[in-house]
Structure 1
Amino acid sequence: MMLVKNLGQTRLMLLDSIKELTDKQLNQKQSSEKWSISQVLFHLYTTEKEIALLIFNSLNSGSKKIAERDLSILVENSVKNMTTNEPPEEYITKNELIGLLEESRFQYVQAIFNEVHAHVLLEKSVEHPEFGWISSQDLLEFIWHHEKGYIKQIEEIKQGLN
């Protein structure tokens, strides 16, 4: 299944992008207006967890099938506009961040695949606070597209690290 493959490949790319960084580098901010890599990773964790919970809670609802959406616009706007959900300023270690990312993937996203076959996700839709009505499939696809967009931002942040 392409969705699972894409989720896995993107997560490996994300982890590879931070493997050489120290805890200090992960938490270093270039300015007060910009996020640290640690904050980006925390944002990815909370976004994935929130999306998974939204989908999981909607599986038993009477939602209907809706048209697939162009995710590139949603991802571009999401990464460009950051988020209203500001990540914490606190110092978080690499091991803690990896643990959070594993939690969101294996306790939340994986729970969806354990509960329902992927083709059912096309038949279900959820009302997302920012995107409006969107298919559960598209929302899961958004996770890896979103993560991939932030990998680019992490690479930009790394260029400015000491």
Structure 2
Amino acid sequence: MNSLIHHQMLETRNSLIREFELLSYDAFNYRPENNRWSIAQVCHHLVLVERATVKAIKWGLSQNRDSNIERKNVQRILDRTKKLQAPEIVEPESAPFEKQQIIELLAEPRNELINTLSSIDQPTILQTKSVNHPAFGDLPLDQWIEAVYLHEQRHMEQIREIKGLLDLC
């Protein structure tokens, strides 16, 4: 795996955990409104997205065809003025979560992603194969990987907003 991408993924994950590790159980599971997620649910959503990403990458690698898909500006995922609707398959559970449970859940797909990427003999294959992404359409697999930590960064902003609301309670 590209060491810069690996570093970004590690740094973003560590920052994510620092955002919630000192919160109480109630604060971690606090929902600002019925139609908004708690910090725990945001984190569970990140788990589900990364699981789906691993599946997409594995599926893309298994395909025999290469593609010349245009590279996308995946950085735009950071623009929170553009509301994105999460596909139903990555919507979090409504039940409350323990922080340690979320940390363990976050580790599972990350480990699987790293193991999958480490097993690739020719990493450049990630640039030549693509899979349809819910937000970007056909996306090269290496950009799917980049989207993982960018997506976490997007949701860290959401977590900070929720934490700001906690101060008002």
**TM beyond 0.5:** yes
- Cα distance, 1:75–1:82 mapped onto 2, change above 3 Å: farther
2:19 to 11, 17, 20: 17
How do 1:18-37 residues align onto structure 2 when only pairs under 5 Å count?
18-37=20-39
Q: Which residue of 2 aligns with 1:114?
A: 118
* Residues 137 and 97 of structure 1, relative CA distance in 2, 3 Å threshold: same
| Amino acid of the structure 2 residue aligned with 1:81 | L
Q: Secondary structure at the match of 2:124?
A: helix
- Say whether residues 1:137 and 2:139 are aligned partners: no
Determine what percentage of the aligned residue pairs are the same residue.
26
Aligned mate of 1:68, from 65, 68, 71: 71
What runs of 5+ residues in structure 2 fail to find an aligned partner?
A: none
Name the residue aligned to 1:160: 165
Residues 77 and 150 of structure 2 are in contact (CA less than 8 Å); yes or no, is this contact kept in structure 1? no
SS across alignment from 1:59: helix
Gap runs ≥5 in structure 1: none
Query: How many residues align structurally?
Result: 161
- Distance in 1 (CA, whole Å) between partners of 2:9 and 2:93 is 25
Q: Deviations over 1:64-115 (max 9, x none)?
A: 24222101234437972241332111011001101100011012x1132122
Match of 2:46 among 34, 44, 47: 44
Aligned to 2:93: 88
Bigger shift: residues 39-48 or 80-89: 80-89
After TM superposition, the score normalised by the length of structure 2 is 0.87
